Amino acid sequence: MSLATQLQRARLAQLTPYASARRSMSGGAVWLNANEAPTTPSLTADQQQLNRYPSFQSERLNGAYADYAGVQTQQVLSCRGSDEAIDLLIRSFCEPGQDSIMITTPTYGMYAISAQTHGAGVIDVPLRKAQDASLQFDLEGMAKQLTAAGKRVKLVFVCNPSNPVGNSLNLADVEQLLELVGEQALVVLDEAYIEFAAASGVQQLNTIASWLSKYPQLVVLRTLSKAFGLAAIRCGFALANTDVIDVLRKVIAPYPMPQPCLDIAERALSGAGISAMQQLVADTVALRDAFIKQIMAKPWALKVWPTCTNFVLVSVPDASELVSQCSAAGVLIRNQSAQRGLDNTVRMSIGSADEMNQLLEVLP
């Protein structure tokens, strides 16, 4: 019995997923099996018609992302952003009222919110300050929570590079966590910012994705929202071994990705699209590093947190006041003070050169 079969919700073991028209049949020249309209009347004949349902999973898109991530096509599930992948994992593996997820705050807020919405518990083992002053795993604390009586942890969510902090986690610790968890749970590595970490020389693009062959409990989340600049099309990916992908395919919607989004995503993953993305990332990293030098000289910047992402976290005397001051001038930055251990911090994304100049003009 595979690991995913052991960990999936009991009800899913007996579930036969909905067989949509596209999922159950392919080929043919005349499509009359999905109750679709014969055309899109609001469009002219020379425009792309939108009357047909898209693929359940686009082989072309999944294949393109598999090539980019260095994995097999059958190890890829495309979905509506990483947020849907998070939700799918919790719905697939956590029994409401019985199972829990583990998080390591400060971290991305949707892990806990998705779990709470589903009725799963949330166990927090906060990151702790390492010798180099970065925030890293509390492996001893995580081990204690994993073995605590009455706490069935099914998913461990790890954000690396970290959001909202911006630093990279120690890969030796990540691998130790995978060994520690074993077959008890899935370890979900959210790599939304991995392209920026790679461009910063912190971590190679596909290091953790290459571990799928070694660790059946590993799931890697990726997105086109950040480095590829495609947040509006909501395209993300879950990378995992095929037994995990098969469980997620039971739960995902019949037609998860709109066809126009699939088309845009495929173009982004072409050779030209990847080259353009890499140039944007390089430009962003250069702007980030220049911005950090400028704000480090500001007396109100009490601490500029190390970052390998497309944002900078800064400790300030009064986060609310600074956010309000910038907002009044039409520049929006984010208050992160509600996060554990991040009192009076603000997060500033790295935009275009003009946008960064506007931010510098309104900062005190």
Residue 149: CB partners within 8 Å, gap ≥ 6? none
| Cα distances (Å, whole numbers) of residue 263 to 34, 75, 322 | 21, 21, 41
Residue 76: CB partners within 8 Å, gap ≥ 6? 62, 63, 65, 66, 69, 237, 238, 239, 245
Check residue 49 and give its pLDDT: 86
Report the b/e string of 287-308 with b at 16+ CB within 10 A.
Answer: bbeebbeebeeeeebeebbbbb
Amino acid at 266: E
For residues 99 and 153, the answer to whether their CB atoms sit within 8 Å is yes
Distance CA 346, CA 325 (A): 12
pTM for the whole structure: 0.95
Distance CA 162, CA 189 (A): 10
Check residue 148 and give its pLDDT: 85
For residues 309 and 165, the answer to whether their CB atoms sit within 8 Å is no
Contacts by 65-68 with C-beta closer than 8 Å and gap 24+? Answer: 65/222, 65/237, 65/269, 67/269, 68/269, 68/274
Mean pLDDT of the chain, nearest integer: 94
Rounded to the nearest 10 degrees, how much is the dihedral formed by the CA atoms of 91, 104, 233, 283? -160
Q: What is the mean pLDDT of residues 32-44?
A: 83
pLDDT in tens, 6-17: 999 988 888 888
**CA 270 to chain CA mean position, Å:** 21
State yes or no: pLDDT of 150 exceeds 80.
no
pLDDT in tens, 241-295: 999 999 999 999 999 999 999 999 999 999 999 999 999 999 999 999 999 999 9
Instruction: Return the DSSP state at 8.
Output: S
Domains annotated on the chain, with CATH: 3-20+56-269 (3.40.640.10), 273-362 (3.90.1150.10)
Angle, vertex CA 80, rays to CA 177 and CA 351, nearest 5: 85
State yes or no: pLDDT of 90 exceeds 80.
yes
Instruction: Return the DSSP state at 149.
Output: T
| Cα distances (Å, whole numbers) of residue 29 to 26, 33, 358 | 10, 12, 55
pLDDT in tens, 182-240: 999 999 999 999 999 999 999 999 999 999 999 999 999 999 999 999 999 999 999 99
Residue 19: CB partners within 8 Å, gap ≥ 6? none
Distance CA 103, CA 110 (A): 11
Nearest to 64 by CA among 235, 233, 270, 263: 270
pLDDT band at 149 (very low <50, low <70, confident <90, very high): low
Residue 346: CB partners within 8 Å, gap ≥ 6? 313, 314, 316, 319, 322, 323, 333, 334, 335, 336
